[in-house]
Amino acid sequence: MQDVSTINVAVIQKYFVAWWSPGQWMFPGALNYLFGWRLGIGSILITFIFSLSGLFGFYKVYKYFKFSSAIVVFSLLMIIISDTFYTSFIIYQGGEILSFGIFPWFLYYLLKLQKYTFNNLLVVLLLFLLCFVAKTTLIIYCAIAIAYKIFKNPLQRPLFGIFKAGKSDRNNKVFKLFIPLITGAGCIYIFYLDKGVRPSLLNTFHMELSDLLIPLSAPFSGILSVQTNIIRAQKIIFGTGASSYSALIFISAIYAILSFLVLKCIYKFYNSESFTIAYKLVSIFLYAGLAFFFIIAYSFDTNIDSNVRHFKLLAFLFLPGLISIVFNLLNASVFRLIISLFVIHFVADFIYLKDKWTNDRYKSVNYFYRNYDNLERQDQMDEDSYHKLIELDRTIPLMSNNKPVLFFFEGNADIAMDIKHPAVFNTEKQKFNTMRYWGNRAQVFLFLSKNTLHKNPDFCKSSFPDYNDFVIIDQNSRYVIMKVE
C-alpha cells in the first residue's frame, strides 16, 4: 500500500501490509494480468470455481467419513443455503470463498495420507502454503488438522479403547508431518509476515462473555444464517436505541444455548456407533483447537472480528453429524418440511440481501457495485462525478513537470482500485478532510462534495497551507473538481 506523507505531500510512502489474505486479489488480479479481464469479472469466475471446488471437496470428505448419500446431499444443501456461503454470490469475499474451495482438499489429502514420503510431504507443504494464500487464518485450521494426524493414534487409545496402529505410525513416521508444518510456518513468517505491518496477536487482556460463547457456539451459529438472524432479532426486539445491557443479555443467552447444544451434540457424537472414529476425532480436535485459539485471540483484543465466517469450515464439518442426529429424531415428513422451510428462507434472504447490496448503486469500471464492501458507510459520490474522476485519471500522466500527480477524493477505498494515480481517500479510521498536508512539490486534484465546501469554505487552504491556487476545472450538482498548484 502507499500513503501520501502529511509532512511533504510530494513523498509517497510505500509499505507492505501483512494482515490481509494475499490471495483475495492475487487470483482475480492474475486473470486481469493474463487475459485483460476486469477485476469484477475475474472475481465472479473465481467465486464460481472455488464454490464448486469446495462443494466437491466437502462431498469427498463426507464420503470418506462414510455418511450415507442422503446425509451427504442434505449436508451440501445446508452449505448452499447458509449465508456464510451464499453471501459470496452477492459481494466478493475473496478469502472466504478461496478458503472454502481449498481447505476441504487439504483435509481430505491428510485423511487419506498413509505414506510419508518426500513427495507426499511436499504436497502437504504446498497445500499448507496455498491455504495461507487463500486466507491467513486458515493456517490455524491446517495446523490443527496436521496435529490431529500426528496424534490420532495416541488419542484413540484413551478415548475409544483402540490400540491398533498402522505400520508407518508404529514406526513414528507420522511425526514427519512436523516437517511441512514447521517449514510452512517459517516460510510464511520470513517471506510474508515479517515483511511489513501486522497486528500483534496478544494485546491487553480483556475477556468478555462473547469472547467465550461465540467460539463455543460456532458449529451451530456458522450455518443457516443463524448469527445473522440473531442480530436481526436483536434489532427487532430492542431497536437501535435500546439499552445495550438488555441486548447483551439477549445475545449471550442465545449463544449460551447454542454452546450447550454444540456440547450435547459432541457428546452424542462420542457415544454413537453411527459415526466413524475418524469423524469423531477430527470434529472434536478441530472444535477444541479452534475454540481455544479464538477465545485467547478475542480475550487479548486481537484484530479479528467475531463474525462466524471464521468458523464456517468447522460448522460445515459438523453438518452431516448434526443432520444424522436430527434425522433419527424426526420422521421423514417433518424432516423434509423443515428442510423446505430452510430453503424458502434462503431464497427470500438471498433476494433481500441482493436488493440491499445493489439498490441505488452503480457499477464501477471494474464491474463491481460501488461501495461493494461497505454497507453502513457509503460515500456520496454520484455516478457522474465518479466517471469524471476516472476520465481524468486516464488522461493525466503520473508525473507533470517532474512533480507527482496526486488525487484527493471524498469517497471510499474501493475507488482507489479503479485508478492508477496515488490517492488519498476516506478510511474507517480517518477522513482525508481532517488531515493537513504540507509542501507544494506535487500537482494535486481535489474531488470534494459541495456539502463539505459549504460547511467549511476554507477547507482547501487549511488542508493545503503551502498552496495558493485552487482552480475549479469541473463541477456538477454534488461535486467540485479542483486543480491545485
Poorest-confidence range of 121-130, 213-222, 300-309, 368-377? 368-377
Residue-level pLDDT at 434 = 76
The model's confidence at residue 200, banded by pLDDT at 50, 70 and 90, is low
What would the mean pLDDT of 388-416 be, rounded to a whole number? Answer: 92
What would the mean pLDDT of 360-375 be, rounded to a whole number? Answer: 82
Q: What is the pLDDT of the chain when averaged over all its residues?
A: 88
What would the mean pLDDT of 203-218 be, rounded to a whole number? Answer: 88
Residue-level pLDDT at 172 = 66
The model's confidence at residue 112, banded by pLDDT at 50, 70 and 90, is very high
* pLDDT over 70, % of the chain: 92
The model's confidence at residue 241, banded by pLDDT at 50, 70 and 90, is low
Please report where in the chains the cell 424458502 appears, as a residue: 344
163 pLDDT higher than 60: no
Residue-level pLDDT at 358 = 87
Q: Which of 58-72, 374-388, 413-427, 464-478 has the highest mean pLDDT?
A: 58-72
476 pLDDT higher than 60: yes
Residue-level pLDDT at 428 = 55
281 pLDDT higher than 60: yes
Residue-level pLDDT at 377 = 73
Task: Quick: pLDDT tens for 291-341.
Answer: 999 999 999 888 788 889 999 999 999 999 999 999 888 888 999 999 999
> Does the pTM exceed 0.75?
yes
What would the mean pLDDT of 380-403 be, rounded to a whole number? Answer: 93
235 pLDDT higher than 70: yes
Residue-level pLDDT at 50 = 97
132 pLDDT higher than 90: yes
21 pLDDT higher than 90: no
